[in-house]
Amino acid sequence: MSITVRIPTQLRQLTGGAGEIKVEGSTVGEVLKALDSAHPGFGERLFDDAGELRRFVNVFVADEDVRFLDGLSTAVADGQTVSVIPAVAGG
């Protein structure tokens, strides 16, 4: 299944500047691992030592935060978009 992953500006150096990448996968976890395989460096930025999403990384499927769905096990359908959005803090 072809999934489009939207890459935030802060991580586009890993994709040669591309804002969207197509990868294969049927769950969010598979999609993000495929992204790391195609463009090494994403894994260490997205996952903690336990293999879970870092708390400052938000991932959305069809505008839904995967933390409120099935996390990394959230299913993605062919043609859907997964968006990686780093948390922003300010003061």
Instruction: Identify the CATH assignment for 2-86 out of 3.10.20.30, 3.40.50.300, 1.20.1260.10, 3.20.20.70.
Output: 3.10.20.30
Instruction: Report phi then psi at 90, rounded to 5.
Output: -155, 180
Element (H, E) at 22: strand 20-24
Selection from 15, 22, 21, 23 nearest residue 39 by Cα: 15
pLDDT surpassing 60 at residue 91? no
Cβ atoms of 84 and 19 closer than 8 Å: no
13: which 2 tokens? 């150096």
Whole-number pLDDT of residue 59: 97
Q: Where are the domains of the chain?
A: 2-86
pTM over 0.85? The answer is yes
Whole-number pLDDT of residue 87: 82
Whole-number pLDDT of residue 89: 66
Query: 30-77: per-residue pLDDT in tens?
Result: 999 999 999 999 999 999 999 999 989 999 998 899 999 999 999 999
Q: What angle do CA 36, 31, 59 make, to 5 degrees?
A: 95
